[in-house]
Amino acid sequence: MRIARPRKTYRKIKLKLELMTARFLPPEVQILPDFLGIGAPRAATTWLHSRLSAHPEVYLPKIKELHFFDEPRPAEHKDYSGIQWGRSYYFDMENPQSWAWYARQFRKGRHALKGDITPAYSTLSEKRIELIHRKLPEAKIIYVLRDPVDRAWSGVRRSVSSDTKLRPSEIDDILATVSHPEILIRGDYRRAITHWEKYFEPSNMLYLFFDDIVERPREQLIAVCRFLGIGIDGLPAEKRDATRVNASPEEAMPKEVLEFLSDYYADQPEFLEQKFGRSFDHWRHQGH
């Protein structure tokens, strides 16, 4: 399976230069985000970013995913079927320079409601979430959930270059990819919700669902506005609410993949039903 590998060299060099110069900038440590969009990856967070960035009361950095709070995990550097997980640079949470850099990302929005939408934050450890709470105790958290089976398959399709098809003969490679810890953890909503709610009050957490966004996008945006305390009138034109953003290439899911993912995430619907008091039966893939 041929995997697309984005070029990271320029971004890494640029980031290091920015960190080097951050110490010479005026102190803006308090200019930090008011809300975080923590994921899930492949669950319409790019759509949410595009809609909110057009709101006059909201400021989002030009780069959608800052990945400031990302933390390395042993599994992410393993190479499964050509995919190299992990980032070229991780910020040092103990280094004031790192925080100066982070604050600079929001300096243009000092008088607006500032946000950082980085879907990978839903996979953070409890220790890192505790640090976020210490630094951003009043932050509001937005978490979008999607059928974990569909979400995982969308993530795999997105990782494959657009001109490459997933062929049945490669099923072993496909299964190795879809079973990678970095794919699976993104759909472990029980883990994410438990960790984040240990430090942030439920009143500071807003949960959205991909299915609702597809069916009733304006209604979900209104819920976001009310949660963040911003005016509904500032939302962009409704006619573009249903526009797909950052969609994965279409590709049928092999039955072996469906069986594996359905078994792996079998306990997620029941947990979510108990948590939210609504049915997630459509996330159960009975009989595969």
3 state DSSP class of 117: strand
Has residue 5 been placed in a domain?
no
Has residue 288 been placed in a domain?
no
Has residue 63 been placed in a domain?
yes
Report pLDDT digits (tens) over 87-99.
778 899 998 888 9
The answer to whether residues 142 and 38 touch, using CB atoms and an 8 Å cutoff, is yes
- Structural domain boundaries enclosing 84: 13-283
Strands (E), the chain: 35-39, 58-59, 79-80, 83-84, 113-117, 140-145, 205-209
Has residue 4 been placed in a domain?
no
Has residue 3 been placed in a domain?
no
CATH code, domain with 60: 3.40.50.300
Domain count, the chain: 1
Task: Write b or e for each residue in 178-189: b if 16 or more Cβ atoms lie within 10 A of its Cβ, otherwise e.
Answer: bebbbbbbbbbb
Classify the C-alpha dihedral 203-30-49-152 as positive or negative. negative
Q: What pTM does this model have?
A: 0.87
Has residue 6 been placed in a domain?
no
Tokens read off for 233: 């009138």
Report pLDDT digits (tens) over 30-81.
789 999 999 999 999 999 999 999 999 999 998 889 999 999 876 544 544 5
For the chain, report the end-to-end CA distance as a whole number of angstroms. 25
Supply the DSSP symbol for 283.
G
H/E stretch holding 175 reads helix 171-178
Has residue 213 been placed in a domain?
yes
* Length reported for the chain: 288
Has residue 1 been placed in a domain?
no
